[in-house]
Amino acid sequence: MVGKYGIVHRGILLNTGESVAVKIIHKSDLTEKDLNSLKRECRIMYELRNHPHIISLKDFCQDSANFYIVEELAEGGELFDALSRRTSYSEREAQNLVRTLLYTLRYCHEKGVVHRDLKPENILLKNSDDYLDIKIADFGFATHVRNMIRMECRRMGINH
């Protein structure tokens, strides 16, 4: 899979046999600002790594040409896509899913972390059989906050 800054491959951790996602990011493609964002993202993911509903950072390493971010693999794909394929979805299932999502966001906020890019594409399923085992991913815009943040959102020329 090709992302904004690199390519994602499936890999296997040699010491455990666990399947993982490996993001390969070419150093030459990064500006200084991009590099700072990448480091911040990895620090935040490391801090949140033990939560069961946040994609965990397994490793971060580099060579002369690339950075390698090794993350938990969410084989179920995007939640939105999985729900779109279903013919029915009960109110109870929706309640449980939203509850899980809100508890996970509360955990982030208690740690002083704001995701800032929560959207259907960034909510993944650990596997395709369990619609409650969600994983929040992509902490590229996340930041630490000490006080309330306030920012203007603009999309397609509309101010909110």
Question: What is the pLDDT confidence band of residue 1, given thresholds at 50, 70 and 90?
Answer: low
| Catalytic residue list contains 130 | no
Q: What's the mean pLDDT in 11-36?
A: 94
Q: Which residues contact 70 (CB under 8 A, 6 or more apart)?
A: 11, 13, 20, 21, 22, 57, 58, 59, 60, 61
Distance of CA 120 to the CA centre of its chain: 11
Which of 1-10, 26-35, 147-156 comes out lowest in average pLDDT? 147-156
Q: Which of 34, 59, 63, 117 is catalytic?
A: 117
β-bridge mates for residue 69, sequence order: 23, 60
Q: What's the mean pLDDT in 109-133?
A: 92
How long a stretch of residues is the chain?
160
Q: Calculate what percentage of the chain has a pLDDT beyond 70.
A: 89
For the chain, how are helix, strand and coil distributed in percent, rounded to 5? 30, 30, 40
Q: Which of 127, 124, 144, 121 is nearest to 136 (CA)?
A: 124
Q: Report the distance separating Cα 101 and Cα 130, nearest Å.
A: 14
The whole-model pTM stands at: 0.84
Neighbours of 83 (CB within 10 A): 15
**Cα-only R_g, the chain:** 17
In the predicted model, what is the mean pLDDT of the chain?
89
**Amino acid letter at 32?**
E
Distance of CA 155 to the CA centre of its chain: 21
